[in-house]
Amino acid sequence: MVTLAEVAQHAGVSASTVSYVLSGKRSISAGTRQRVEQSIRELGYHPNAGARALAGKRSNIIALMIPLRTDLYVPVMMEIAIAVATTARTHGYDVLLLTGEEGPDAVRRVTGSGLADAMILMDVELEDERLPLLRGTDQPSVLIGLPADTGGLTCVDLDWSATGALCGEHLAGLGHRDIAVIGEAPAVYERHTGFAERTLDGLRSAARETGVRLLHRPCEGGYDAMALTLARVFDERPGTTGFVVQNESAVEPLLALLRQQGRAVPEDVSVVAICPDQVAVQASVRLTSVAIPAQEMGRRAVERLVAKLDGRGGDEVVLLAPELTRRASSGPAPAAD
């Protein structure tokens, strides 16, 4: 293993000079810098992370807490995680992967041990038990998702309420008067993850303003569950012509079932999905959708965090504006009989 001292000796300078060449924290003559950099390359020197963390009081590591469950938005979670990792590297940080399993203990362990300089929490619930710990520490953190009380916290999330409103307005604008909302599994609502409720709020207020009727039904996803849900919807509201789907694993089953029932999309029924673009494009009908900007969320979270670590900027709630892309699944409501 090559040490800084060896590099120093090889370059004929002192250890501190090598350190400063590396950190750029004081000016170095061109010649010295050259020789040091040369030695570093020749010897294949890599600074020891532990020693750095100990002496420098920062590990250059960001902890990322991902949810343990794999029932919800897995590709989105993955995309966020990847975006976090790549963006973090861009700023000189590595990413430590924590699962929700340890729960609040993980927060204590990481803050206490100096393993990470800061953390990003995903899958935040409205009354998340990790929040008191975060508020009680001086370690910077960013949440992806919005808890009920955002006081003293930095959060990044899609503006779900605006997303719901956007979907509602789109369908209302096309003349639909009866809209069904196919939501996530009931467990998601029970968990109080926030985004589901917020989307619904947005939809409701849009419905109110446009005079549209809304029927909300959580759905486990999968073909059978969707079949049941769909039957109930048409039973209760036979005049339904618009669907908003916020459940990846219900999208394709819904389309298949509508087809099977002889309801054409978008001639008879319009469908708007809230899902990753990839899903919207690969579906059997190209779906009008609001995308979940996973990459953007990961990137923004890291950027906020780095800003905090650099002493720039404080707490802030960043809500990303939703964008609706019109594709083949939505059109004018059919003329009433």
Question: Could you give the CA distance from residue 141 to residue 64 in angstroms, rounded to a whole number?
Answer: 10
Contact between 74 and a copy of itself per CB under 8 A: yes
Shortest distance (Å) from residue 108 CB to DNA: 14
Answer for which of 41, 42, 56, 236 binds DNA (CB under 7 A) is 56
Q: Is 262 in the site for a copy of itself (CB under 8 A)?
A: no
| Among the listed residues 23, 70, 317, 332, the single contact to a copy of itself using CB under 8 A | 70
Burial of 108 (0-12, 13-18, 19+ CB in 10 A): middle
> 222 to 261, contacts with a copy of itself by CB under 8 A?
222-223, 249, 252-253, 256, 259-260
Taking the CB of residue 182, how many other CB atoms lie within 10 A of it? 25
Q: 118 has which bridge partners?
A: 62
Task: Pick out residues in 29-48 that bind DNA (CB under 7 A).
Answer: 29, 31-33, 45, 47-48
Residue 33 Cβ, how far from DNA at the closest point, in Å?
Answer: 7
Stretch that binds DNA, among 23-31, 62-70, 260-268, 289-297 (CB under 7 A): 23-31
Q: For the chain, how many helices (H) and strands (E)? A: 14, 12
Residue 7 engages a copy of itself in binding (rule: CB under 8 A): no
When asked if residue 175 is in the footprint of a copy of itself (CB under 8 A), the reply is no
Q: How far is the CB of 200 from DNA (least distance, A)?
A: 48
Using a 10 angstrom Cβ sphere, with 0-12 exposed, 13-18 middle and 19 or more buried, the burial of residue 97 is exposed
* 264 near a copy of itself (CB under 8 A): no
Nearest distance, CB of residue 157 and a copy of itself, angstroms: 20
Stretch that binds a copy of itself, among 3-11, 68-76, 169-177, 320-328 (CB under 8 A): 68-76
* Site stretch for a copy of itself (CB under 8 A), options 85-93, 193-201, 228-236, 328-336: 85-93
Cα dihedral sign, 160-179-326-166: negative
In the complex, what is the shortest distance from the CB of residue 177 to a copy of itself, in angstroms, rounded to a whole number? 29
Q: Does 20 bind DNA (CB under 7 A)?
A: yes
Question: Which member of 3, 9, 86, 210 binds a copy of itself (CB under 8 A)?
Answer: 86
Q: Which of 253, 298, 264, 295 is nearest to 277 (CA)?
A: 295
- Axis crossing angle, helix 223-236 with helix 248-260, rounded to the nearest 10: 60
Cβ-Cβ contacts under 8 Å for 329 (sequence gap 6 or more): 265, 266, 270, 271, 272, 273, 283, 285, 286, 287, 288
Q: Which of the listed partners (DNA, a copy of itself, none) does 23 bind, with a CB threshold of 5 to 8 Å by partner kind?
A: DNA
Contact flag: residue 284 with a copy of itself (CB under 8 A): yes
Our finding on whether 175 is near DNA (CB under 7 A) is no
User: d(Cα 337, Cα 328) in Å, to the nearest integer?
Assistant: 24
Question: Could you tell me which of 243, 258, 247, 90 has the C-alpha nearest to residue 176?
Answer: 243
Size of the site for a copy of itself (CB under 8 A): 58
CB 118 within 8 Å of CB 95: no
Q: How many CB atoms lie within 10 A of CB 66?
A: 20
Tell me how far apart the 2 most distant CA atoms of the chain are, in Å: 91
Count of CB atoms within 10 A of residue 288's CB? 24
Q: Is 9 in the site for DNA (CB under 7 A)?
A: no
Q: Strands 155-158 and 141-144, how do they pair?
A: parallel
Q: Which residues bind DNA (CB under 7 A)?
A: 1, 3-5, 12-17, 19-20, 22-23, 25-29, 31-33, 45, 47-48, 51-52, 54-57
Q: Which residues bind a copy of itself (CB under 8 A)?
A: 1-2, 44-54, 59, 61, 64, 66, 68, 70, 74-75, 77-79, 81-82, 85-86, 89, 94-99, 101-102, 108-109, 111-115, 221-223, 249, 252-253, 256, 259-260, 281-285
